[in-house]
């Protein structure tokens, strides 16, 4: 029975698992369920794509008018769940949330395909849409507006960083004797880890 490596650094272990998922998953190995809570304490989950992960945290980008962004503004904590079915593994992350810097958002936005940048301008994310023609009209409008030159980042589009206070690695094992290893920040910037019963 292969055990989860006892790495001292959960971010390093996460990247090793993500690299393997990139090889094995059919698509979007960086997909993660993001759970937020509104001001009334009602939870909400949706799939988003991880765009960066380092010692500072886990980063994703969105329209700042979206439900998730509004909920994070009201209650800046979140949970993430990566589930790689082909590997029978998952990673759970919980932590406080902060906005990325303008420089980070600008750099990532500039790296996106032009059509995605136009789409960011066209979408009034999470608001009612009468029909697809309305969206197509807005796409055409902004494609014409930015026909020449660069497409700038909208002021209503940016990113968030989840700063982990807990990271759990889960690996499926026979007879439901699953392996679970949890990391939490310790004193002096190191991580403390422990195993949990399945």
* Residue that is written with structure tokens 């600008």 in the block: 106
pLDDT tens digits for the chain (198 residues)?
A: 456 766 789 999 999 999 999 999 989 999 999 999 999 999 999 999 999 999 999 999 999 999 999 999 999 999 999 999 999 999 999 999 999 999 999 999 999 999 999 999 999 999 999 999 999 999 999 999 999 999 999 999 999 999 999 999 999 999 999 999 999 998 888 999 999 999
At 189 the pLDDT is: 81
What residues make up the domain containing 52?
10-109+155-196
How many whole angstroms from its chain centre is CA 3? 27
Q: Is there a domain that residue 41 lies in? A: yes
Rounded-to-integer distance, Cα 79 and Cα 32, Å: 10
- Report the run of H or E that residue 116 belongs to, with start and end: helix 114-122
Contact 79, 155 (CB under 8 A): no
Q: Is there a domain that residue 91 lies in? A: yes
Residue 34: both structure tokens together: 């993001």
Q: Is there a domain that residue 70 lies in? A: yes
At 57 the pLDDT is: 98
Q: Is there a domain that residue 140 lies in? A: no
Q: CB pairs under 8 A, 24+ apart, for 187-193?
A: 190/8, 191/8, 191/9, 191/10, 193/6, 193/8, 193/10
Rounded-to-integer distance, Cα 93 and Cα 187, Å: 19
Contact 36, 72 (CB under 8 A): yes
Q: Is there a domain that residue 31 lies in? A: yes
Number of domains comprising the chain: 1
Active-site residue (options: 153, 166, 176, 195): 176
At 79 the pLDDT is: 98
Q: Is there a domain that residue 166 lies in? A: yes
Assign 50 to helix, strand or coil: coil
At 38 the pLDDT is: 94
Q: Is there a domain that residue 122 lies in? A: no
Q: Is there a domain that residue 142 lies in? A: no
Give Cβ neighbours of residue 4 (< 8 Å, ≥ 6 apart): 13, 169, 171, 179, 181
CATH number of the domain at 64, please. 2.30.110.10
Please indicate whether residue 176 is annotated as part of the active site: yes
């Amino acid at each position: 029975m292969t055990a989860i490596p006892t790495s001292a650094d959960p971010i390093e272990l996460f990247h090793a698992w993500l690299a393997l998922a990139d090889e094995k998953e059919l698509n979007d190995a960086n997909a993660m369920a993001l759970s937020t809570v509104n001001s009334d304490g009602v939870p909400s989950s949706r799939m988003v794509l991880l765009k960066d992960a380092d010692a500072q945290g886990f980063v994703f980008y969105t329209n700042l008018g979206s439900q998730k962004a509004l909920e994070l503004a009201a209650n800046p904590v979140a949970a993430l769940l990566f589930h790689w079915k082909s590997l029978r593994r998952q990673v759970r992350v919980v932590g406080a949330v902060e906005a990325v810097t303008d420089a980070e958002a600008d750099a990532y936005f500039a790296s996106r395909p032009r059509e995605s940048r136009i789409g960011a301008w066209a979408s009034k994310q999470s608001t009612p849409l009468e029909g697809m023609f309305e969206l197509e009209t807005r796409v055409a409008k902004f494609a014409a507006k930015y026909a020449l030159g660069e497409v700038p980042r909208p002021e209503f589009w940016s990113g968030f960083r989840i700063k982990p206070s807990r990271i759990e690695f889960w690996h499926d094992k026979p007879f439901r004797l699953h392996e679970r290893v949890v990391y939490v920040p310790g004193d002096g910037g190191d991580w403390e880890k422990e195993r949990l019963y399945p």
